[in-house]
Amino acid sequence: MMRGVILCLALAAGACGGEAPVPAPDATSTSSVAPVPSSDLRAAVPLLSGWARGEIATQERPAPDRSSSATVTFTRGAEKLDLEIADTGGDARAIESLEHMAGSDVTRTLGNGYFKGTTISGLPAVESWNTVDKLGELSVLIRRRFIIHIAGSGLTDAAPMRALAEAVDTSRLR
């Protein structure tokens, strides 16, 4: 699951024509705590004004890759936002690529968009935007454990992805 998020970040950079940095894997990393129940993640999913929220799906994975997640799709006409809120249990392998870029001042501007480190509500994040295909991704890292990942399509800019990330009830992610 989280490896998919990391892959999405790498692919997002590729979609804009860049390459995401790939840190060396840490073979000794393991989950340090039990993930929160998926019901807690479900409760963190917001309503987004002007958008229709689909059904929330949840998942809990057992050891060795213990994790939990909640996913949902928001739509507004042809615009779409796919949200995943995940608890990695603190597994360093699940956050290493995101942690490398999130909150940094690294920006790659290309002919069809950008890929950059940024912050959302004071939290480290990575954002990519393809201006040609109107596709974007945003991942926010919370306490080196939780990840809010949003994939957007059919958008005019990245603002709806940021608005959704800011609307997530991060107080439930403890």
Residue with tokens 């109107």: 134
In this structure, are residues 168 and 44 in contact, taking their beta carbons and an 8 Å threshold?
yes
% of the chain residues with pLDDT over 70 = 82
Residue 153 pLDDT: 98
Three-state secondary structure call for residue 75: strand
Taking the domains of the chain in order of start, what are their residue ranges?
2-16+33-172
Q: Nearest Cα to 72, choosing from 87, 83, 81?
A: 83
> What local confidence, expressed as pLDDT, does residue 73 receive?
98
Give the tens place of pLDDT for each residue, 116-174: 999 999 999 999 999 999 999 999 999 999 999 999 999 999 999 999 999 999 998 87
Just give the CATH number of 2-16+33-172: 3.40.1000
**Pairwise CA distance, residues 165 & 169, whole Å:** 9
Q: Is the pLDDT of residue 2 over 80?
A: no
User: Model-level pTM?
Assistant: 0.81
